[in-house]
Amino acid sequence: MNVEPLRVVVVGGGAAGFFAAITAAQANPRAQVTLLEASRQPLAKVRISGGGRCNVTHACFEPSGLIQNYPRGGKALLGAFSRFQAKDTITWFATHGVPLKTEADGRMFPITNNSETVVNCLMDTALSSGVKVHTGTPVVQVKIHSSPLPVEGKQGGFDVVLKSGEKWYCDRLLLATGSNPIGYKIAQELGHTIEPPVPSLFTFNIKDEKLRALAGVSVDSVRLRLTVPEKPQIEQTGPLLITHWGLSGPVVLKLSAWGARVLHSRNYQTPLLINWLPHLKQEQVRQKLLTVKNEWAKRPISLHRGVDLPHRLWQYIISRAGITPEDRWAELSNKTLNQLVQELTQAQFFISGKGVFKEEFVTCGGVNLKEVNFKTMESKIVPGLYFAGEILDIDGVTGGFNFQSAWTTAYLGGLSVNS
């Protein structure tokens, strides 16, 4: 009896799509694995990520610690990371000729510092594993196959309809379409709930010309807090960069991720509190300033700051407290001192819009995670349908976490499509 080989179609030629297709083909060499990518150039996001270096993953090797970097999807990923996590990613790429290196902040890149290394690895491995890659092949619809095929032991499956009008049959379908609306449309038409997609990982526009004049100034650690009425406080601590449009840096990107839905609901206009000295309590800041006042009474406040902040930033902060460049420490009243402490620990700003973090462009939202079995990445609603990557309602902060969730979900889905 001749049994027809399993036909697997992966829709989406990004990191998750390629990794899933490779895994499926290597796990079952008899399977016919086809990858369909709408654009002419696959792996576009891999090419430009990390400034063209590709931040493949992050050096965090405990699943319980790893999931802390996912504003959405962490709980679902806990078990998944116990089966395939950053260590496995490192091993996989090393085995396929792409050793990774770890930078001081934990981000991991190919030692070549070139994303093309990762792109070529995925492309070459897919082809050598027998994956049929079709680019410039947009999928417009998927239908559940209505009648059994005239082959013993075969029934069900999917009809994948291309923009050209061509229709392909497959036994298993894996959607790895990222944040492309067509993926959400297909999943929804097949019965899945889509959590509304909104941007994640973006910078903040601040309409403060004096602040913007400090463009290029960075601070190693600040605490940012969104103050939205009737919402739980959302805050993050980390490095900050002042830009010509407002605020950027790791702490802003993290806060934008955790506050993605709240910020979207307020049209990216909301108050923001900045603690420039998060390692000190408010009273400790006050005592530091009093010490400087006593020791440098006759010196200008603008030149003797007493706290560890960039000089230009210090001058900006004291001006917000009503202190002129000529004012001396001896002249500092208690009222002005209190105002200065306030500006250092609870400075009030207003986010007037969102900027763009061009390296990541991550989306919050996607297929509802309760409708997916995270042991296999198979749909709980449609047998034979699988998901991987950003089409799911999963998103991580910057640092290689979004790629790691893509590798993990793709690996598990790729293994499971053969079952």
Residue 54: CATH number of its domain = 3.50.50.60
**Residue 110 located in a structural domain:** yes
Do 173 and 381 form a contact (C-beta atoms < 8 A)? no
**Residue 236 located in a structural domain:** yes
| 208 lies in the same domain as 349 | yes
Residue 146's pLDDT is: 74
Q: Indicate if the alpha-carbon torsion angle 209, 215, 219, 220 is positive or negative.
A: positive
Residue 151's pLDDT is: 45
Residue 274's pLDDT is: 98
3 pLDDT tier (thresholds 50, 70, 90): low
Residue 358's pLDDT is: 57
User: Is residue 1 pLDDT above 50, yes or no?
Assistant: no
What average pLDDT does range 310-325 have in this prediction? Answer: 97
| 38 lies in the same domain as 146 | yes
| Number of domains into which the chain is organized | 2
| 20 lies in the same domain as 163 | yes
Amino acid code (one letter) for 198: V
| 228 lies in the same domain as 194 | no
| 170 lies in the same domain as 213 | no
User: Is residue 313 pLDDT above 90, yes or no?
Assistant: yes
The model's pLDDT over 16-66, given as tens digits with 9 standing for 90+, comes to 999 999 999 999 999 999 999 999 999 999 999 989 999 999 999 999 999
Task: Give the range of the structural domain holding residue 411, as residue numbers without chain letter.
Answer: 7-199+361-416
C-alpha distances (whole Å) from 276 to each of 208, 240, 325 are 17, 10, 20
| 177 lies in the same domain as 191 | yes
Picking from 337, 356, 375, the residue at the C-terminal end of a domain is: 356
**Residue 46 located in a structural domain:** yes
| 340 lies in the same domain as 388 | no
Picking from 356, 375, 392, the residue at the C-terminal end of a domain is: 356
**Residue 229 located in a structural domain:** yes
User: Is residue 356 pLDDT above 80, yes or no?
Assistant: no
| 256 lies in the same domain as 267 | yes
231 pLDDT tier (thresholds 50, 70, 90): confident
| 63 lies in the same domain as 40 | yes
349 pLDDT tier (thresholds 50, 70, 90): very high
Q: What are phi and psi of 151, to 5 degrees?
A: -130, 130
The model's pLDDT over 125-167, given as tens digits with 9 standing for 90+, comes to 999 999 999 999 999 999 998 765 444 444 579 999 999 999 9
Q: What is the rounded distance in angstroms from the CA atom of residue 317 to the CA atom of residue 339?
A: 10
**Residue 255 located in a structural domain:** yes
The model's pLDDT over 239-275, given as tens digits with 9 standing for 90+, comes to 999 999 999 999 999 999 999 999 999 999 999 999 9
The model's pLDDT over 211-229, given as tens digits with 9 standing for 90+, comes to 999 999 999 999 999 988 8
Do 139 and 11 form a contact (C-beta atoms < 8 A)? yes
For residues 62, 63, 66, 69, the Cα torsion angle rounded to the nearest 10 degrees is -150
**Residue 1 located in a structural domain:** no
- Give the residue from 384, 413, 402, 419 showing the smallest Cα distance to 49: 402
| 98 lies in the same domain as 222 | no
**pTM tops 0.85:** yes
Residue 62's pLDDT is: 97
Rounded to the nearest 5 degrees, what angle is found at the Cα of 399, between the Cα atoms of 395 and 403?
55
**Residue 2 located in a structural domain:** no
Picking from 340, 356, 372, the residue at the C-terminal end of a domain is: 356
Residue 152's pLDDT is: 43
- Percent share of the chain, pLDDT over 90: 90
Which residue's entry shows tokens 């004096």? Answer: 210
Which residue's entry shows tokens 């390296």? Answer: 359
| 408 lies in the same domain as 333 | no
**Residue 108 located in a structural domain:** yes
79 pLDDT tier (thresholds 50, 70, 90): very high
| 24 lies in the same domain as 55 | yes
